[in-house]
Amino acid sequence: MTRSARTILALSAALALATGCQALDDDDGAASQVDAGHHEAPEGPDGPSYAADAGSWEPSGAGGAGGAGGGMGAGAEAPPVPEDQFYPGEDQFEDVGDNPWVDTAEDALSTFSVDTDTASYTLARRSLLAGALPEPASVRVEEFINYFQYDYPAPAPDAEVPFRVDLEAAPSPFGAGKHLLRIGLKGKLPDQRKPANLVFLVDVSGSMRSRLPLVKTTLNQLVDALRPDDTIAIVTYAGQDRVALPPTPVADRAVILDAVYDMQAGGGTNGADGLRTAYLLAEEHQRVGGINRVVLCTDGDF
């Protein structure tokens, strides 16, 4: 795919996402708002804060001109920020370039992973809902495609093959005489999933201010995807660790959503104690023969 084609595809995807934002009521709208009375105020990114009213610059957490921080006097200009400077926890994307065209007559085999995630779509959606265009290097076409459910038919329970392949071809928009082929894979569905004991270890340190809403949205959506007999627990860590929600059946949906809503970001990072607490909680409420997992939600600052 050429760079210009990729740019067109990225802009088209952005336009489609922006147009579909109003249709997200059952997805992001309901998930990011625990109930009609709960609204979150927008929060700014971490890093230096600029006091526009005084015309001065102060690092976050520093005092005024007479405080311990010794901020700059009124009317002073803010020092320039180097272009390559970024704050801890800031999103960083690597432009991996474009895949070259492959002549299938010469190279008929292709090896690729089938566990592609969906992060690129959710990041783009978050940017658009915030009124900004997605970072071009964050666009991963395969992750956009993988986000949606296509309702491929699964193999019959008595089928000898573990998965089914669905194919669909259409003329390519990238050149005359070319075609795009979509290959869909659907594996066998398990007869019955075992009950789950899930402990979520959530980083609520200061660097998570811009990311915690995404964690909350994910947890809200997860509650609706689990079974009533599954249990969810939440352990948070910043300067100290805390059990924000003891193991609670998913049937108690309101209790879980209230605990998710109450999480706020701020403070330092004490991931080690949080990890110990999460594993002790998971072990204490272990479901023998079931699914027992500790899930870490962090920006990488541990």
Of the residues 135, 159, 183, the one at which a domain ends: 159
The pLDDT tens digits of the residues spanning 66-90 come to 333 444 444 445 455 444 444 444 6
pLDDT of residue 112: 73
pLDDT at 37: 37
Q: Do 269 and 151 reside in the same domain of the chain? A: no
**Residues 147, 50 contacting (CB under 8 angstroms):** no
Residues 27 and 106 in one domain: yes
- Which residues of the chain register pLDDT less than 70? 1-90
- Co-location of 11 and 114 in the same domain: yes
Alpha helices in 100-179 (DSSP H): 119-129, 141-147
Q: In terms of residue numbers, what domain contains 243?
A: 196-297
**pLDDT at residue 58 in the model:** 38
CATH number at residue 213: 3.40.50.410
Six-digit token string for 275: 């990890």
- Flag whether 176 is in a domain: no
Residues 155 and 204 both lie in one domain: no
Q: Which pLDDT belongs to residue 297? A: 94
What is the pLDDT at residue 229?
92
Q: Are residues 13 and 149 in the same domain?
A: yes
130 domain-assigned: yes
| Closest listed residue to residue 214, CA positions, set 124, 117, 93 | 124
Report the candidate in 98, 106, 139 with the shortest Cα–Cα distance to residue 122: 139
Q: Which pLDDT score, from 0 to 100, does residue 273 have?
A: 92
Q: What is the pLDDT of residues 193-221, one digit of tens each?
A: 899 999 999 999 998 988 899 899 999 99
Domain identity same for 112 and 249:
no
Taking the CB of residue 278, how many other CB atoms lie within 10 A of it? 24
Q: Are residues 7 and 102 in the same domain?
A: yes
- Tell me how many domains the chain contains: 2
Domain presence at residue 244: yes
Q: What is the pTM assigned to this prediction?
A: 0.52
Indicate if 133 and 241 belong to the same structural domain.
no
Same domain as 223, residue 134: no
* pLDDT confidence of residue 85: 46
Residues 120 and 261 occupy one common structural domain: no
